[in-house]
Structure formats: C-alpha cells, structure tokens
C-alpha cells in the first residue's frame, strides 16, 4: 500500500484514518494568513457508515486503501443471506442482511448490482440505479385520472411501496429510480 500525504487527499479516495478504512467525501486545502496549511476533510468510515470531519496538518501521512467495485448478478435470498454471482468466474457469494440494508427492497432476481470492496473486504451493495418492476398491489385507477391528479401508494414485486400516479393499475410495469424511490415512467 502506498503512503499518501496531505496534498494527495481528494474526494473519492480510499485511505486509512486512525486505523479505520475510510472514503474521503470532501478535501479542502486551506492556507490561512497566519499558521500552517491544512486540509479540512469530511470522510466516511466504510465499516460503520459514520461521517466525520477533521482537519489534517501538512505533516499528516495516510495509507491508501484498495477500493474496488465488482459487478455481480443478484440471484436470490434464502432467508439468511442474499446470493450474488460473479459474472466472470460464476462464483456465488452470500451477503448478509447488514451489508444489503435498505437496498434489499430494490433487489430483483437477475439484476446486476455493484458490490463495493475495500482491501478485499465487502462493505456495501448498490442496486441498479433504475429497476423495471411490476405493480403487485394498489387501488384501482379510474378513467380520467391524469398525472396531475396526484399519487397513490403501490406495492411492487420486490415488496417495496412507492408512490405512483393515480392512473396506474395492478400488473403494469414501471421504472423506479432506486436512489430516491421515485416513479420514473411506464415500461
């Protein structure tokens, strides 16, 4: 692993800070009128997800963290784990509920997800940015309901509840943005 100095800090970089693998979210170099130059940083501990802010002096040194993202296909949930398959090696790996977290409601079998690793340790699962799903439960729409007519809750095939326009019915296929859970359009 490479040793990095204060000038190497930038957003998106993986570094070890105080024994914890972290991702730098912001790094602002500050040159005050008096005193030494320092870097004002905001970073996220990749194990806990906690965001911290700290200033580092010019003499600070950091060990780099090997950050990798792998595309894997979501296969199924067996009740204990979510199973993903590496598309190149066909290796299947189980991922615990704690790492999938709230993203579980966006996982659909056979979709390609991004698994994030730091020093070869899995720390996060990202679902696809957009998913195409079927509405499995909602109040019936009525002729004349329009997009401006408001929204209603609908349960989709993954089990998540999203807000959809009033005119949509059970069985229709829709596109959802998994970043905010918003309805994008019909498929």
- Both tokens of residue 172? 């229709």
Q: Which of 84, 102, 126 is the last residue of a domain?
A: 126
What domain range is 10 assigned to? 3-64
58 plus 73 within the same structural domain: no
**Whole-number Cα distances in Å, 150 to 95, 109, 166, 172:** 38, 31, 6, 18
18 plus 60 within the same structural domain: yes
Report the number of distinct structural domains present in the chain: 3
- What mean pLDDT is predicted for residues 94-102? 89
| pLDDT value of position 120 | 86
Segment 25-81, tens digit of pLDDT: 899 988 888 888 888 999 988 888 789 999 988 888 989 998 899 999 999 999 889
- What mean pLDDT is predicted for residues 104-129? 91
> For the whole model, what pTM was predicted?
0.75
Q: What is the CATH number of the domain that holds 14?
A: 2.30.30.30
Q: What percent of the chain has pLDDT over 70?
A: 95
| pLDDT value of position 163 | 93
């Amino acid at each position: 692993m490479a040793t990095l100095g204060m000038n190497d800090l930038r957003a998106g970089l993986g570094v070890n800070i105080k024994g914890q693998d972290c991702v730098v979210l912001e790094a602002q170099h500050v040159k005050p009128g008096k005193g030494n130059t320092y870097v004002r940083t905001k970073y996220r501990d990749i194990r806990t997800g906690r965001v911290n802010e700290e200033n580092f002096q010019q003499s600070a040194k950091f060990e780099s963290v090997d950050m990798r993202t792998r595309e894997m296909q979501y296969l199924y949930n067996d009740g204990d784990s979510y199973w993903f398959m590496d598309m190149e090696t066909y290796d299947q790996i189980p991922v615990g509920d704690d790492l999938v977290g709230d993203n579980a409601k966006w996982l659909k079998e056979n979709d390609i997800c991004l698994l994030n690793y730091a020093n070869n340790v899995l720390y996060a699962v990202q679902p696809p940015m957009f998913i195409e799903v079927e509405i499995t439960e909602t109040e019936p729409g009525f002729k004349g309901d329009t997009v401006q007519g408001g929204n209603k809750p609908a349960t989709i095939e993954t089990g998540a509840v999203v807000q959809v326009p009033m005119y949509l019915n059970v069985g229709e296929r829709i596109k959802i943005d998994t970043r905010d859970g918003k309805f994008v359009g019909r498929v």
